[in-house]
């Protein structure tokens, strides 16, 4: 078989893909994206929790920015707890 015939055979094989194959591929990508979004949300909550723990453990008086951040994080955590229950 010549080079041109081999290339043509490869092209024809790619054209034979059904819509189902593309649908499964797209479905897999969508599922992966949902898992990634959940993963990022968990990482963000964990990061916020660590920041809040540091602010709560700080012995000296908090600055206005730290106090605002602490209150914001506490509100977010309480909202998250209310949604899960």
Query: What ranges do the domains of the chain cover?
Result: 16-84
pLDDT band at residue 13 under the 50/70/90 scheme: low
| Cα 15-19-30 angle, rounded to 5 deg | 120
CA–centroid distance for 47 within its chain: 14
Pairwise pLDDT comparison (52 vs 11), residue with the higher score: 52
Mean model confidence pLDDT for the chain: 84
Per-residue pLDDT of 19-55, as tens digits, reads 667 778 888 889 999 999 999 999 999 999 999 999 9
Q: Do you know the residue count of the chain?
A: 85
């Amino acid at each position: 078989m010549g080079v041109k015939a081999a290339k043509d055979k490869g092209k024809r094989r790619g054209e034979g893909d059904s819509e189902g194959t593309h649908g499964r591929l797209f479905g897999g990508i969508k599922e992966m994206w949902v898992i990634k979004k959940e993963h990022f949300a968990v990482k963000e909550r964990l990061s916020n929790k660590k920041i809040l723990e540091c602010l709560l453990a700080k012995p000296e008086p908090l600055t206005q920015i730290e106090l605002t951040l602490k209150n914001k994080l506490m509100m977010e955590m309480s909202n998250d707890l209310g949604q899960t229950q």
